[in-house]
């Protein structure tokens, strides 16, 4: 049976190419239809050329179609991959610049806190439109979301629809690989259990050859070069005893310890975060540079040999397990917390092991997080719950309260200052937030 896989937001060039390559490595999908959809027709045409080259290089009987019509792309799809971006850098630069003016120094700003929450407010309505189309045009499809803020978007969709949805992040597998490198272990000899919320999940177990590898990791992070590679995360590991999944740049935002004073930012966040410190430039310059150079890079890549090897990304293996050859596949996915992590809010979006099979996606019970980790994760999860409810109902007050309780924001600002900051962020986002129009 020929399968159809739809990419919504296919203009995400590098990622689309990687996932298409992965999908076509599975025999069950080598004759599939790849439906590429994006609102940017020029970018879409170029991505279509890149995907056609992958198909030709592998001599696959697959076909790629390109469309700016989302319904056409989704019609009859077995799998859907979502990699959209709502608003460009001139919109989301305000997510970083306005909080910075008030003293909240944000590094990445795509997950939680004031920047992540406003990105969610802009994106959730579009994601809800997508999920409604999936319900109509491919109700039995598996939808895999790669768009941030991951937890809030998945929570909104999963709470409002019965479509099979989960969210995927690179951080779990790549951090596991990083730690294996630090202790000199082959990755295929590492076993781990990782759970929490997106970008703030912890390795509750990390073993090499069946033995606890955390003592080796504690010795490794004493080395200056390793410590400096991930300063914030390594500080968290030294003091909290468990390693967190997402990079130091991200995690410096999710707690009150590293970004509340200039001296702390200088000490912990000016290097070893993986991101330009303390500014929006990583996003703004990164996207603008990409916009200027992606055509040149794509044209160059079309002339280069195609790498047909499968990557570490989960999407293709999930699809293969559910509607391919049925090979079981376990991954960390974002799902609602119904009996999965005992000491996090019921119904919030958690990142836990999930088993993909012909039966669908089955999340695995983890139990409780260590008590001290649960305190930090609970605060962030509860803020996300408030923000999602605000996005779905158009309740401005809930937005304010969610940002009030954000660990970094509350460490820096008074309640009145937070209110002024939130009001200003609403003004610059007005045209993107129709659900919040004053009555």
CB count in 10 Å sphere of residue 81: 28
Per-residue pLDDT of 359-404, as tens digits, reads 999 999 999 999 999 999 999 999 999 999 999 999 999 999 999 9
CA distances from 385 to 22, 106, 404 (A): 34, 21, 13
pLDDT band at 172 (very low <50, low <70, confident <90, very high): very high
| Cis? peptide before 312, omega within 30° of 0 | no
pLDDT band at 294 (very low <50, low <70, confident <90, very high): low
Higher per-residue pLDDT: 291 or 296: 296
pLDDT band at 107 (very low <50, low <70, confident <90, very high): confident
Mean pLDDT of 197-209: 98
In 64-213, which residue ranges form alpha helices assigned H by DSSP? 70-74, 89-102, 113-137, 150-160, 171-183
Q: Can you give the pLDDT at residue 14?
A: 80
pLDDT at 320 over 60: yes
pLDDT at 264 over 70: yes
Which one, of 230, 260, 270, lies nearest residue 246 by Cα?
Answer: 230
CB count in 10 Å sphere of residue 433: 18
pLDDT at 174 over 60: yes
pLDDT band at 439 (very low <50, low <70, confident <90, very high): very low
Tokens coding 219 = 């010795």
pLDDT at 16 over 60: yes
Tokens coding 295 = 């055509």
Which domains are seen in the chain, by residue range? 4-167+301-307 (3.40.50.720), 168-278+313-439 (3.90.110.10)
The DSSP element (H or E) to which 410 belongs, if any, is helix 407-412
pLDDT at 23 over 70: yes
pLDDT band at 292 (very low <50, low <70, confident <90, very high): low
Which one, of 177, 206, 179, lies nearest residue 193 by Cα?
Answer: 206
Among 78-92, 240-254, 354-368, where is mean pLDDT lowest? 78-92
pLDDT at 285 over 80: no
**Annotated active-site positions, please?**
170
Mean pLDDT for the chain overall? 93
Q: Can you give the pLDDT at residue 91?
A: 81
């Amino acid at each position: 049976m020929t399968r159809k896989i739809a990419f919504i937001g296919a203009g995400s060039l590098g990622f689309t190419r990687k996932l298409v390559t992965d999908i076509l490595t599975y025999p069950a999908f080598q004759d599939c239809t790849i439906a590429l959809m994006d609102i940017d027709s020029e970018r879409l045409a170029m991505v279509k050329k890149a995907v056609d080259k992958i198909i030709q290089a592998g001599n696959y009987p697959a076909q790629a179609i390109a469309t700016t019509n989302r319904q056409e792309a989704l019609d009859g799809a077995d799998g859907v991959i979502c990699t959209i971006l709502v608003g460009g850098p001139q919109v989301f630069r305000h997510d970083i610049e306005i909080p910075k003016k008030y003293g909240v120094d944000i590094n990445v700003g795509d997950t939680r806190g004031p920047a992540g929450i406003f990105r969610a407010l802009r994106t959730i309505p579009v994601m809800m439109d997508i999920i409604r189309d999936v319900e109509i045009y491919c109700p039995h499809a598996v939808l895999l979301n790669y768009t941030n803020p991951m937890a809030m978007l998945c929570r909104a969709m999963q709470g409002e629809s019965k479509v099979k949805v989960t969210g995927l992040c690179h951080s779990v597998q790549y951090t596991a690989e990083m730690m294996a490198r630090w202790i000199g272990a082959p990755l295929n000899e590492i076993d781990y259990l990782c759970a929490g919320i997106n970008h703030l999940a912890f390795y509750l177990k990390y073993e090499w050859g069946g033995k606890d590898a955390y003592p080796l990791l504690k010795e490794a992070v004493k080395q200056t070069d390793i410590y400096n590679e991930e300063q914030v995360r390594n500080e968290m590991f030294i003091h909290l005893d468990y390693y967190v999944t997402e990079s130091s740049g991200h995690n410096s935002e999710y707690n009150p310890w590293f970004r509340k004073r200039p001296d702390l930012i200088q000490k912990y966040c000016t290097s070893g975060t993986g991101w330009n410190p303390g500014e929006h430039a990583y996003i703004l310059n990164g996207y603008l540079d990409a916009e200027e150079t992606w055509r040149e890079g794509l044209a160059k890549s079309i002339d280069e040999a195609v790498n047909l090897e499968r990557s570490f990304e989960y999407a293709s293996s999930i699809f293969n397990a559910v509607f391919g050859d049925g090979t079981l596949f376990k991954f960390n996915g974002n799902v609602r917390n119904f009996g999965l992590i005992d000491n996090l809010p019921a119904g919030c979006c958690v990142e836990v092991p999930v088993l993909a099979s012909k039966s669908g996606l089955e999340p695995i019970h983890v139990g409780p997080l260590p008590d001290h980790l649960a305190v930090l994760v609970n605060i962030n999860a509860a803020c996300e719950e408030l923000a999602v409810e605000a996005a779905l109902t158009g309740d401005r007050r809930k937005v304010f309260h969610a940002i009030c309780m954000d660990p970094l924001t509350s460490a820096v600002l008074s309640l009145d200052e937070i209110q002024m900051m939130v009001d200003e962020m609403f003004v610059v986002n007005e045209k993107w937030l129709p659900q919040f129009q004053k009555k």
